[in-house]
Amino acid sequence: MNMIKTCGAVLLVTISLAGCKKSYLDIAPKNFLSDDAVWASTANADLFLNDIYNQLPDINNETEHLDQYTDNSDVGVLWMNGYAKVATAQITPSSLPTGPWDMWTWDKNYQKIRRCNLFIQKVAASQLPGDYKTQRIAEARFIRALLYHWIWMAYGGVPVIKDVLDNVTQGDSIYRPRNTERETFAFIDNELDTISKMLPPSYGAADFGRPTSGAALTLKGWCELYEASPLRNPGQDPNLWKAASATNKQVMQLGVYDLVSDFTQLFLAGDNNSIESVFARQYGPNHGSTIIGKEGPTMNAAVAEVSWGNFQPTQELVDEFSMSNGKAIADPGSGYDPQHPYDNREDRFYKTILYDGAPWRGFTISTRDGGNNSIDLGYASDKTHTGYYARKRLDSAMDPGSYFSGICYQNYMYFRYAEVLLSFAEAENEVNGPTADVLAAVDKVRTRGNLPGIAAAYGAVNQSQMRDIIRRERRVELCFEDKRWWDVLRWKIAEKMPDGSPGVLNRPEIGMVITGTTGNLTYTRTNVRNRIFLPKMFLMPIPQFALDQNPAMQKQSGGTDGWTNGQNPGY
């Protein structure tokens, strides 16, 4: 494959940019394309765009995940960000977590944004066919909005840059100030509204992985939900909730998406690009992943370590799964027995969690004292620190010992239809309470897992009760899909709860210690480690290097977002 080489200043937003110099001794290698050649044919332009797609977060090859920053999952080892920086509140402008696969890394994201801007500019000015321009420019604008949405959630307001900066021709004007949080949101929201009308509703197999109109609306609806939530909407402006409800409803009315029947198969290669997948990173024989080795249980027998066990569900997450009768375990009549905690749980529990006694690849997981995967309450090994491993998204037919060959081909879904249903239900409940439409959307997700509907399980519920149900459904349905971090931030429950009690990330992490022998086991909830979440951590700090190298941001203090010399409050 030819590599594409372009000459131009590399945009970091925050650093002095050097222009390209060319001497008569410079000779372009024969395996490089000239700048003019890149934009002379659709095939060459596609190479450039494909490289942009390839730089999206490669989550199925990642070691750290956002759930490890939360109360859903422990981290594998002490050096990981979820422990070393997040749970210990050791976040500073010079040392901050950047999300899985550099999800919100400042300079790398702006480099990717610049590539989108360059593609948009060059293709718009080219002689390429008009229909190609419309389609591909819309794709690049979608990716640009996707990149902006991650840094907007992480940092709040950021510089919104839509042109290709060049310090040689523009000088100091390349230094752009931060847009406010609301201005950044408005840019993303308006972009996605526009391109949703330019993108097709679906593609043939050759174009799987490109964004559709539904993908643009889904991302728009998610951003609107984030903006409407307590973190960004402390005054509870109902119009923000109405916008989120309407956009997610629009996706539901497209008639393109639905839920697949098999919750396990949904995440595996056999159901890649299923009717439930809205936007996904594509994997296959030429680009497989190592997920089974990195996330699977550490021991497949009491013989050798075969996986890293990086998904270690907490007891707090396990407690959120309903009983098979649809009731939460703390509800009267649920039938929950704390000395038989894994009996009669809902279907998603057995398809999501590996627990003591769970079958896996021909043997039985044993996390009890002395078992083949016995809990490690310290961090001396990769074995589970909570008493659990994840089952979800792992193909039990794959050999974990061969994970270095990258043989796992299931896609990573950034967005899927179940999330759309829950996002609609959440927003609509805040607008109008638990209407029939709200109940229908949540029930659709529940009944896929063989749970009774809400009315059958709980009877009539009010708005507050519905809110709690939706939040629990979202946590269970979307765990290990990098959603929980953003949810506990936007609901503003990380630091403290609405009643003033410690927030979910200011409480000890809980694991399950099991002692005794079969038929006479004792289950003891145990504090695994403490967690600290400070008020400032609802936003990441602007990296110090970014401030040091951007005088336009250094001048920004006060305003609606309360910055000090361009920095977020508290840092």
Q: Sign of dihedral through CA atoms 269, 274, 279, 285?
A: positive
Mean pLDDT of 134-144: 98
Spatial CB neighbours of 226, under 8 Å, sequence gap ≥ 6: 153, 232, 486, 490
Q: Residue 131, SS3?
A: helix
Least Cα distance to 429 among 242, 237, 218, 235 occurs for: 242
Least Cα distance to 450 among 324, 319, 266 occurs for: 324
Distance (Å, whole) CA 516 – CA 318: 21
CB atoms within 10 A of CB 71: 26
The residue length of the chain stands at 571
Give pLDDT, residue 475.
Answer: 98
Give pLDDT, residue 382.
Answer: 84
Predicted confidence band at 236 (pLDDT cuts at 50, 70, 90)? very high
Contact 39, 119 (CB under 8 A): no
Residue showing tokens 């500019």:
121
Contact 441, 421 (CB under 8 A): yes
Q: Sign of dihedral through CA atoms 81, 87, 90, 94?
A: positive
Q: What is the CATH number of the domain that holds 117?
A: 1.25.40.390
The H or E element spanning position 440 is: helix 436-448
Enumerate the β-bridge partners of residue 408.
289
Neighbour-count burial of 361, counting CB atoms closer than 10 A to its CB (0-12 exposed, 13-18 middle, 19+ buried): middle
| DSSP structure string for 192-228 | HHHHHTTS-S---GGGTTS--HHHHHHHHHHHHHHHH
Which two three-digit tokens encode residue 172? 């100091």
Q: Residue 363, SS3?
A: strand
**Whether the predicted pLDDT of 286 surpasses 90:** no
Q: What is the total count of domains within the chain?
A: 1
The H or E element spanning position 443 is: helix 436-448
Distance (Å, whole) CA 64 – CA 272: 23
**Whether the predicted pLDDT of 211 surpasses 80:** yes
Contact 101, 59 (CB under 8 A): yes
Domain encompassing residue 148: 3-256
Lowest-pLDDT range, 300-304, 343-347, 370-374, 545-549? Answer: 300-304
Instruction: List, in sequence order, every beta strand (DSSP E) within 445-568.
Output: 509-517, 520-529
Mean pLDDT of 305-327: 93
Predicted confidence band at 75 (pLDDT cuts at 50, 70, 90)? confident
Which two three-digit tokens encode residue 561? 């977002």
Spatial CB neighbours of 522, under 8 Å, sequence gap ≥ 6: 339, 514, 515, 516
Report helix angle 42-54 to 106-125, nearest 10: 160
Inside any domain, residue 543: no
**Whether the predicted pLDDT of 359 surpasses 50:** yes
Helices then strands, each counted (H, E), the chain: 19, 12
Q: 36-60: per-residue pLDDT in tens?
A: 899 999 999 999 999 999 999 999 9
Inside any domain, residue 61: yes
Contact 484, 67 (CB under 8 A): yes
Q: 79-91: per-residue pLDDT in tens?
A: 999 999 999 999 9
**Whether the predicted pLDDT of 237 surpasses 60:** yes
Report helix angle 417-432 to 436-448, nearest 10: 150
Mean pLDDT of 153-172: 94
Give pLDDT, residue 403.
Answer: 67
Inside any domain, residue 298: no
Q: 446-503: per-residue pLDDT in tens?
A: 999 999 999 999 999 999 999 999 999 999 999 999 999 999 999 999 999 999 999 9
Q: 267-279: per-residue pLDDT in tens?
A: 999 999 999 999 9
For residues 33 and 61, the model is more confident at: 61
Inside any domain, residue 470: no
Give pLDDT, residue 249.
Answer: 98
Contact 180, 32 (CB under 8 A): no
What are the b/e assignments for 515-538, b being 16+ CB within 10 Å? eeeeeeeebeeeebbebebeeebb
Residue showing tokens 């060459």:
44
Amino acid at 467: R
For residues 282 and 30, the model is more confident at: 282
293 dihedral zone (left: phi>0; alpha: psi -120 to 50; beta)? alpha
Distance (Å, whole) CA 116 – CA 11: 11
Mean pLDDT of 543-550: 97
Distance (Å, whole) CA 128 – CA 351: 48
For residues 172 and 188, the model is more confident at: 188
Inside any domain, residue 244: yes
Distance (Å, whole) CA 110 – CA 105: 9
Q: 331-355: per-residue pLDDT in tens?
A: 999 999 999 999 999 999 999 999 9
Return the CA Rg of the chain: 24
For residues 14 and 72, the model is more confident at: 72
Inside any domain, residue 528: no
Give pLDDT, residue 31.
Answer: 55
Query: Average pLDDT, whole number, for the chain?
Result: 92
Give pLDDT, residue 399.
Answer: 79
Q: What percent of the chain has pLDDT over 90?
A: 83
| DSSP structure string for 48-85 | HHHHHHHTS--GGG-S--GGGGTTSEE-SSTTSHIIII
Inside any domain, residue 100: yes
Inside any domain, residue 371: no
Q: Residue 524, SS3?
A: strand
| DSSP structure string for 270-320 | GGTT-TTEEEEE--BTTB-B-HHHHHS-SBSSSS-B------EE-HHHHHH
Predicted confidence band at 404 (pLDDT cuts at 50, 70, 90)? low
